[in-house]
Structure 1
Amino acid sequence: MEITAPLGLRDKKRAETRAKLERAAVELVLREGLAHATVDAISEAADVSSRTFFNYFDSKEDAVLGIHDLELTEEAVTEHLRKNDGAGLVESIVKLLFWVIGPSITTTDLHALRMQVVKAHPELLSRHVTQMTRMADQLTAAIQTLLASDPEFAADPVQTRSASADMLLTICSGGVRVAVKEWVTEGSTVSSDPATTDQLEQRAIELVREVTKKIQ
Structure 2
Amino acid sequence: MTDQREPGLRQRKQAATALTIERSAVALVQEHGFQAVTVDMICAASGVSQRTFFNYFKTKDQAILGAEPGRLDERRVREFLASDSPDLLAGILDLLATLAPVGTDDRALAADRMGIISRTPALMQKEIERLSDVYEELKDVLYLRLRRSAPATEPPEETRTQSALIAHLIPGILRFTLEQQSSSNPGHPDAGTAQLLAGALQKLLPAAPAGEPAT
- The normalised TM-score by structure 2 is 0.59
One of 134, 152, 165 as aligned partner of 2:149: 152
| Rg (Cα) greater in structure | 2
Distance 1:164 1:189, change over 3 A: closer
Consecutive unaligned residues in structure 1, runs of 5 or more: 1-6
Which residue in 2 is equivalent to 1:194?
184
Which residue in 1 is equivalent to 2:15?
15
Question: Is residue 52 of structure 2 the alignment partner of residue 41 of structure 1?
Answer: no
One of 38, 44, 54 as aligned partner of 1:51: 54
Instruction: Look up the SS of the partner of 1:41 in the other structure.
Output: helix
Instruction: Look up the SS of the partner of 1:135 in the other structure.
Output: helix
Distance 1:201 1:69, change over 3 A: farther
Q: Contact (CA 8 Å) 2:22, 2:64: kept in 1 or not?
A: yes
Which residue in 1 is equivalent to 2:4?
none
Which residue in 2 is equivalent to 1:206?
198
Instruction: Look up the SS of the partner of 1:24 in the other structure.
Output: helix
Q: How much has 1:18 moved relative to structure 2?
A: 1.9
Equivalents in 2 of 1:51, 1:144: separation in Å?
A: 36
Which range is displaced more, 154-163 or 32-41?
154-163
One of 125, 128, 134 as aligned partner of 2:130: 134
Distance 1:30 1:212, change over 3 A: closer
Equivalents in 2 of 1:80, 1:51: separation in Å?
A: 39
Write out aligned runs for 1:1-216 (5 A): 8-29=8-29, 32-46=32-46, 47-48=48-49, 49=51, 50-54=53-57, 59-60=60-61, 63-64=63-64, 66=66, 68-78=68-78, 86-97=85-96, 100=99, 107=106, 111=108, 123-124=119-120, 127=123, 130-150=126-146, 151-153=148-150, 162-177=160-175, 179-180=176-177, 184=179, 194-195=184-185, 197-199=188-190, 202=194, 205-206=197-198, 209-210=201-202, 213-214=205-206
Q: How much has 1:123 moved relative to structure 2?
A: 0.6
Which residue in 2 is equivalent to 1:3?
none
Count of residue correspondences:
194
Q: How much has 1:71 moved relative to structure 2?
A: 1.8
Q: Deviations over 1:144-198 (max 9, x none)?
A: 2233233334977876654443222123334444x35xx85xxx566xx625753
Q: How much has 1:124 moved relative to structure 2?
A: 4.6
Equivalents in 1 of 2:113, 2:133: separation in Å?
A: 30
Q: Deviations over 1:66-95 (max 9, x none)?
A: 46412224334235557x761433443355
Distance 1:102 1:213, change over 3 A: farther
Q: Contact (CA 8 Å) 1:153, 1:161: kept in 2 or not?
A: yes
Distance 1:33 1:88, change over 3 A: closer
Q: Contact (CA 8 Å) 2:68, 2:130: kept in 1 or not?
A: no
Consecutive unaligned residues in structure 2, runs of 5 or more: 1-6, 208-213
- The normalised TM-score by structure 1 is 0.58
Q: What's the Cα RMSD here? A: 4.6
Q: How much has 1:21 moved relative to structure 2?
A: 0.9
Which residue in 2 is equivalent to 1:4?
none
